């Protein structure tokens, strides 16, 4: 028997590595550090990291994970993820290639799941299509935005007509019309978003461009974009703002290790330099307890912990 050469504890033995290599070739790497792939710059390695460029390879990889009972997850741009210091003991999947296409037909924008939201907004603006401006500055992919129903004063779900998904064990994509709610969509938890079709409206290219710039300036003024972070840590409770509750509970600037509640926006935790996931999780619990003491409200996480 060949001994495992994987990182202790990550649990991908040599047989599995050989299997994955023969399935995906150079598209798979092992013990891949995830910190540099998240906006928070935190997290240990993934046992395997696969860059998947087409539906056929995605189907094959999901089938392999199912058969081998391996955990897997889709990694968009990692802008809403907090990865454990010990890393992820499964296959982290990044979509690329065919999943990066944008096709515009009249007012319908079809975007692959790996298209950055910023690129989607720019393509729509170039084509004289308005409606997506509120999404500009969300630093994730279309797939991540659909999964999270990301948005500001408008959420992506309000624009989505159809979503193409792939489920483990299936060979082809299916079309879904999910329901969306605040930071949620009704897709099955193991559905991989392959792409989405968004219905926009005709508009004036110059005005759309000006609105995109205005929103980016406003974002930069109110969010700690200069330090690594993962966006809003907590969901807004009904009728209130997590940032207001955190600030009035006296948590702004609170620190554990190098993790700090942003002084610019209280619902952001920034990584001042070498924060660990453990630091961030401890600070999250500290803030949650302070808010509960001050306001009697238990904040729920928006950020996904991997």
Catalytic residues: 183, 232, 302
- Taking the C-alpha atoms of residue 276 and residue 278, their distance in angstroms, rounded to an integer, is 5
Give me the 27-46 binding string for ligand FAD, x by CB under 6 A, dash otherwise.
------------x-------
Are 78 and 95 spatial neighbours (Cβ–Cβ below 8 Å)? no
Number of other residues whose CB lies within 10 A of the CB of residue 181: 10
Of the ranges 67-75, 104-112, 196-204, 207-215, which one interacts with ligand FAD (CB under 6 A)? Answer: 67-75
Q: Which is nearer to ligand FAD, 145 or 284 (CB)?
A: 145
In the complex, least distance from residue 228 CB atom to ligand FAD, rounded to whole angstroms: 8
Work out which of 16, 80, 100, 262 binds ligand FAD, going by CB under 6 A: 80
Q: Could you tell me the two tokens for 117? A: 């939201």
Q: Which is nearer to ligand FAD, 90 or 143 (CB)?
A: 143
**Alpha carbon of 34 to those of 38, 76, 78, 195: distances in Å?**
7, 12, 9, 24
Work out which of 75, 88, 180, 234 binds ligand FAD, going by CB under 6 A: 75
Residues 259-298 that bind ligand FAD (CB under 6 A): none
DSSP string, 20-65: HHHHHGGGEEEEEE-GGGSTT----EEEEEEEE-SHHHHHHHHHHH
Work out which of 27, 50, 109, 192 binds ligand FAD, going by CB under 6 A: 192
Q: Is 141 in the site for ligand FAD (CB under 6 A)?
A: yes
Summary count for the chain: helices (H), strands (E): 7, 18
Burial of 26 (0-12, 13-18, 19+ CB in 10 A): exposed
Of the ranges 16-24, 44-52, 103-111, 147-155, which one interacts with ligand FAD (CB under 6 A)? Answer: 147-155
Q: Is 81 in the site for ligand FAD (CB under 6 A)?
A: yes
Work out which of 82, 148, 281, 291 binds ligand FAD, going by CB under 6 A: 148
3-state secondary structure of 282: helix
Summarize as ranges the residues that interact with ligand FAD (CB under 6 A): 39, 73-81, 95, 113, 138-141, 143-145, 147-148, 150-152, 192-193, 223, 225, 229-231, 304
């Amino acid at each position: 028997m060949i001994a495992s050469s994987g990182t202790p504890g990550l649990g991908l033995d040599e047989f599995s590595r050989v299997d994955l290599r023969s399935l995906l070739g150079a598209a798979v790497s092992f013990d891949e550090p995830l910190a540099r792939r998240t906006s928070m710059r935190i997290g240990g390695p993934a046992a395997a990291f696969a860059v998947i460029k087409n539906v056929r390879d995605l189907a094959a990889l999901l089938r392999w994970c199912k058969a081998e009972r391996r955990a897997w997850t889709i990694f968009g741009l990692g802008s809403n993820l907090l990865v454990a210091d010990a890393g992820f003991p499964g296959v982290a999947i990044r979509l690329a290639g065919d999943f990066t296409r944008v096709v515009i037909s009249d007012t319908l924008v079809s975007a692959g799941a790996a298209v950055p939201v910023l690129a989607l907004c720019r393509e729509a603006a170039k084509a004289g299509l308005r409606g997506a401006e509120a999404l500009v500055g969300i630093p994730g992919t279309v797939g991540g935005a659909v999964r999270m129903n990301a948005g500001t004063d408008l959420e992506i779900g309000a624009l989505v007509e159809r979503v193409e998904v792939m489920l483990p064990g299936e060979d082809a994509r299916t079309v879904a019309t999910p329901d969306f709610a605040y930071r949620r969509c009704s897709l099955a938890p193991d559905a991989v978003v392959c792409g989405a079709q968004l219905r926009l409206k005709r508009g004036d290219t110059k005005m759309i461009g000006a609105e995109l710039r205005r929103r980016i300036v406003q974002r930069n003024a109110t969010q700690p974009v200069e330090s690594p972070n993962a966006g809003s840590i907590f969901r807004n409770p009904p009728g209130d703002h997590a940032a207001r509750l955190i600030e009035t509970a006296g948590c702004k600037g609170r620190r554990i290790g190098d993790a700090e509640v942003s002084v610019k926006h209280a619902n952001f935790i920034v990584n001042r330099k070498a924060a660990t996931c453990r630091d961030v999780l401890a600070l999250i619990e500290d803030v949650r307890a302070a808010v509960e003491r001050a306001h009697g409200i238990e904040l729920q996480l928006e950020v996904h912990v991997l």
